[in-house]
């Protein structure tokens, strides 16, 4: 079962931010489990989805049979600063210049906050300009090698509007998680088999957090995929995801 979280995909209102928090989504997932009539189920999440899957599994551990996570994201201040202030900027200077372009120099000390002002502007043109810049920055930095297909999709106005508004909304509120909470509460996953799959050269999500989760949750297989970035579609990552889900399917 797949679901579009509040505000994106087929969920309505599209790009809506009201009543849209991590804990609303955790409750939504649990409601879906009950509607599906599943006593326990495999939970799968990548990138922000890995954060959400961890939040759900740490809240409803008795309902999770297995947990497959890709591109581990723990939403620490260091995570956010690395991608939206200084760090990845040094690897992609020309793309970083385009990401900063909609923001006046005086506001660049807090790019998440500056983008939030524009992504919630009453002026639709301002919202779209900011959304495209935010979304394209991610679309052009999540793969080890450039992907025209991914960057083009991230530049679509409709996609970018929901992607940027919701992602920025969550990051501006630290995803309604305490600092370090996903790793701090990893002990609640004890006994749950799982897989942690992470690209060695993942730009948005530094590999050290995936490794820290592996150390805190030894029941999970850990795969640090060489020659891969962040995107699920990169061959090494996709191969490991398929292997993990096939293995758990055979076990059930």
Q: Write out the catalytic residue numbers.
A: 47, 202, 230
- 185 by DSSP, 3-state: which? coil
Give start and end residues of each alpha helix (H) in 9-92. 22-36, 48-59, 77-84
Residue 91 vs residues 66, 147, 203: alpha-carbon distances, Å: 36, 17, 9
Q: Contact 166/39 with Cβ under 8 angstroms?
A: no
Beta bridge partners of 220: 194
Give dist(CA 226, CA 224) in Å, integer. 6
Q: What is the 3-state secondary structure (H, E, C) of 206-243?
A: CHHHHHHHHHHCCCEEEEEECCCCCCCCCHHHHHHHHH
């Amino acid at each position: 079962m797949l679901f579009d979280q509040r505000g994106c995909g087929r969920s309505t209102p599209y790009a809506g931010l009201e009543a849209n928090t991590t804990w609303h989504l955790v409750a939504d997932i649990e409601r879906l489990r009950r509607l599906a009539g599943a006593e326990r189920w495999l939970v799968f999440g990548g990138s922000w989805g890995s954060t959400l899957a961890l939040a759900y599994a740490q809240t409803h551990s008795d309902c999770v049979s297995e947990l497959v996570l890709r591109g581990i994201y723990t939403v620490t201040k260091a995570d956010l600063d690395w991608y939206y202030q200084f760090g990845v900027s040094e690897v992609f200077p020309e793309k970083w210049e385009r990401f900063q372009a909609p923001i006046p120099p005086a506001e660049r000390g807090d790019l998440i906050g500056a983008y939030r002002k524009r992504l919630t502007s009453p002026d639709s043109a301002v919202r779209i300009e900011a959304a495209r810049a935010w979304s394209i920055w991610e679309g052009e930095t999540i793969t080890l090698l450039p992907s025209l297909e991914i960057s083009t999709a991230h530049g679509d106005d409709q996609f970018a509007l929901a992607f940027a508004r919701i992602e920025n909304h969550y990051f501006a509120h630290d995803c309604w998680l305490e600092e370090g909470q996903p790793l701090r509460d990893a002990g609640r996953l004890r006994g749950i088999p799982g897989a942690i799959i992470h690209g060695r050269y993942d730009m948005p999500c530094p590999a050290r957090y995936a490794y820290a989760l592996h150390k805190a949750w030894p029941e999970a297989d850990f795969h640090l995929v060489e020659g891969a970035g962040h995107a699920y579609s990169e061959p090494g990552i996709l191969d490991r995801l398929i292997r993990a889900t096939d293995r758990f399917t055979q076990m059930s």
